[in-house]
Amino acid sequence: MEERKKIIDLQDIIKKFYIGTPNELTVLHGIDLEVYEGEFVAVVGASGSGKSTLMNIIGSLDRPTSGKYELDGVDMIKAKDSELSGIRNQKIGFVFQTYNLIAKTNALKNVEMPMLYAGVHGKKRTERAKELLTLVGMEDRMKHLPEELSGGQKQRVAIARAMANNPAIILADEPTGALDSSTGRLVMDIFHKLHREQGKTIVLITHSPELAEETDRVITLRDGLVTSIRRGKGGAY
Amino acid sequence: MNLFFENVRLALFSLKANKMRALLTMLGIIIGISSVIAIMTVGNSLSSYMTGELSSLGTNNVYVSIAIRENEEETTEEGYSFVEENNQAHITADDLMTREMIENYADTYADNITAIGIQKNVGSGQIFEGTKSIGVDVKGVTLGYMLTDNKDLKAGRFFTGRETEGAKRVCIVSNKVVDKMFGGDDEAALGSIVQTQIETSFYDFTIVGIYNFEAGAGALASYMSMGNTTDMYIPFSTACEMNHSDYVAYFTVLAKPDVDPDAFADLTKQFFVPYYRNNRNVYIDSYSMASYVEMMSSMMGTLTTAISVIAGIALLVGGIGVMNIMLVSITERTREIGTRKALGAPNSSIRLQFIVEAVVICMIGGIIGILIGVGGGSLAAGLLLKSPANPSIASIFGSLLFSMAIGVFFGYYPANKAAKMDPIEALRYE
């Protein structure tokens, strides 16, 4: 374990929200979290435990009030706002509960989008997008618009999109939350496949203890603190 | 560059998705641009038509006519002011120029003058024979008129000195009269006597000459109101006799080629001052064809500018419409904006995306407006002037650029708003 590279290194992350001057609300009370390269980690916790806030900070959509955060060797605290969009583009692949595919844009174009912002050239971009859609089993529906796809299919396109720029981590926020259990199973299998075959580092945020159990490590949050870190049954998958 | 084309593609997609909304948004731009272009096209056609027509009459022409004096305020014994009085003043026979004055004038400036064309309206009437008839405007003219009005005879001759002195009943008619009355046979027409009714009187005229009718500057009005009516010229002296007066309201001078027509017009004006010193009603005004053309063009220019300003206001309103709809569109697409930011779109490319969208809307509106404007303007110019339309290329490109500029200007604020959205809130937006 010690030789493995740290991808995410969070130290004493505190996040406070100010709702009017006197009423500050501390959501994260000092989180320490390390995620190593190739790890599949689940973050679980009840609503209001600070999961989403933690995910926003890891995803560099938000900044902590204090603490240290390094992502794949980059000091995210010192990074300027203008640099963060590039970091998100290159190092983080988001998968959302609500898919968030761009409407009226077909699956292929959706997968190409992060590469577009990365300045990848046209032909290469399309090739890579096709490759990724094949990886998630969507090769037959590349020209379909999001409104023509089922929830599970949309989520698979979203996973392909998250993989577009070969990011250091995939950050999945309740990816199966809006899916029925069999479709959810299918989506989870894709994450396992990416983890196993491509060695992707995946951070999964979920409500579901069963899904969390399938990962390498389960981190439980409660009231803005990490209350337990234990091994999952990750090896089984 | 990739991103730019992607943005154009996206903009077109979102227009296609909301066709009705896009059309309504564009309407302001379409109306603004099409009216600018239509006005420019008509104005351009009209001024090139006028300039062409007017200068075909002779750039060295100087016009001399009676003009009503500007009123000085005059207070009567009772204390009423009579500013209005002269506006209703009639020009009486006493106010008109006599032949003597014109002869004096011609003698004084003999060195500067090629010809003097005097025209005296007798009235409108009809030539008829049996069931055939054609309308004519009967005008008494001097020999000089043929030169000042640039009229060439197609067949026959002008009036002889004897005919002029003797006030003979001879006439020169247009080819249209010959076509109608003589089946186009010039030989048959020449020397024939035509019966002409002018108001309630009948006269017999012998045709001595035929000219080719061309739609001239003054012809526009008569063409529209009278159809086939053309001028029939008779000797000036004959017209004087028929009218029982030899007064003249206006005449045209053809200045010698080396004479500056503007300066000569001033001289002419000065010449008549002594004659009219004691006339409170009228004075003699004189202007050159060149200054007339110039005046017409500048008037047209002013008109074009004024209407363009109004159209500019329409464009401004259209631009505000675009801004409004862009704000709506951005609100609707908040989640998309959040997603794009999460996927790593820098603020600048979000901004670009929405500016491109606004520019595309405005540009399409502009193109539609240009097509409607050129079409409408050409149609109007064609119907009115029967001349080829003359759309201004500069104004077409100008309008296109201007509509794009409107897109950038009114698209910037909404685009910037989108670019500055907080990605977390945008992603959470329902």
- The verdict on a CB contact (< 8 Å) between A85 and B427 is no
Say if residue A81's pLDDT is above 90: no
Strand partners of residue B173: B210
Which residues, in sequence order, are CB contacts of B365 under 8 Å at separation 6+?
B25, B26, B27, B28, B29, B30, B33, B318, B403
Alpha-carbon gap, residue B387 to B378, rounded angstroms? 9
Say if residue A1's pLDDT is above 50: no
- The verdict on a CB contact (< 8 Å) between A62 and B338 is no
Q: Residues in chain A, how many? A: 237
- In chain B, residues with a C-beta closer than 8 Å to the C-beta of A85 are 341, 344-347
**Angle between the A151-162 and A181-198 helix axes, to the nearest 10 degrees?**
20
What number is the average pLDDT over the span B178-188? 84
Reported as a pLDDT band with limits 50, 70 and 90, residue A237 is very low
**pLDDT at res. B152:** 78
Say if residue B69's pLDDT is above 80: no
pTM given for the model: 0.72
- The verdict on a CB contact (< 8 Å) between B343 and A117 is yes
Q: Which two tokens stand for residue B391?
A: 């759309």
**pLDDT at res. A201:** 95
Say if residue A8's pLDDT is above 70: yes
- In chain A, residues with a C-beta closer than 8 Å to the C-beta of B3 are 116-117, 119
Alpha-carbon gap, residue B245 to A105, rounded angstroms? 87
Q: Which residues of chain A have a Cβ shorter than 8 Å from any chain B Cβ?
A: 56, 59, 61-62, 82, 85-90, 92, 94, 96, 98, 100-105, 113-114, 116-119, 121-122, 161, 165
Q: Decide if B284 contacts B65 (C-beta within 8 A).
A: yes
- The verdict on a CB contact (< 8 Å) between B344 and A56 is no
Residue B53 or residue A210, greater confidence: A210
Q: Decide if B203 contacts B131 (C-beta within 8 A).
A: no
Q: Which sign does the torsion angle of CA B299, B147, B60, B240 carry?
A: negative
Q: Residues in chain B, how many? A: 430
Alpha-carbon gap, residue B305 to B307, rounded angstroms? 6
Say if residue B406's pLDDT is above 70: yes
Say if residue B64's pLDDT is above 50: yes
Summary mean pLDDT of chain A: 91
% of chain B exceeding 70 in pLDDT = 89
- The verdict on a CB contact (< 8 Å) between A86 and B335 is no
Nearest-Cα residue of chain B relative to residue A90:
B344
B335: how many CB neighbours lie within 10 A of its CB? 18
What number is the average pLDDT over the span B255-262? 82
What number is the average pLDDT over the span B183-191? 84
**pLDDT at res. B190:** 87
Q: Which two tokens stand for residue B166?
A: 């003797």
**pLDDT at res. B350:** 92
What number is the average pLDDT over the span B354-371? 93
Q: Decide if A224 contacts A195 (C-beta within 8 A).
A: no
Say if residue B188's pLDDT is above 90: no
Q: Decide if B252 contacts B64 (C-beta within 8 A).
A: yes
Which residues, in sequence order, are CB contacts of A226 under 8 Å at separation 6+?
A31, A32, A33, A219, A220
Superfamily of structural domain A38-60+84-236: P-loop containing nucleotide triphosphate hydrolases (3.40.50.300)
**pLDDT at res. B394:** 84
**pLDDT at res. B93:** 73
Say if residue A107's pLDDT is above 50: yes
Min CA distance, A35 vs chain B (Å)? 21
Q: If you search the block for the tokens 């020209």, which residue do you land on?
A: A143
Alpha-carbon gap, residue A24 to B120, rounded angstroms? 99
Strand partners of residue A25: A17
- The verdict on a CB contact (< 8 Å) between A113 and B340 is yes
- In chain B, residues with a C-beta closer than 8 Å to the C-beta of A82 are 346-347
Q: Which residues of chain B have a Cβ shorter than 8 Å from any chain A Cβ?
A: 2-3, 6, 10, 13-14, 17, 335-336, 338-347, 349, 423-424, 427
Q: Using one digit for the tens of pLDDT, what is the confidence trace for A189-235?
A: 999 999 999 999 999 999 888 899 999 999 999 998 998 888 877 65
What is the radius of gyration, based on Cα positions, of chain A?
A: 18
- The verdict on a CB contact (< 8 Å) between B339 and A100 is yes
Enumerate the domain spans of chain A: 38-60+84-236
Say if residue B101's pLDDT is above 80: yes
Min CA distance, A104 vs chain B (Å)? 7
> Mutation test of the interface with chain A: which of B3, B12, B343, B421, choosing the one with the most A Cβ atoms within 10 A?
B343
Out of B92-96, B213-217, B400-404, B409-413, which region has the weakest mean confidence (pLDDT)?
A: B213-217
Strand partners of residue B113: B255
- The verdict on a CB contact (< 8 Å) between B346 and A96 is no
Reported as a pLDDT band with limits 50, 70 and 90, residue A54 is very high
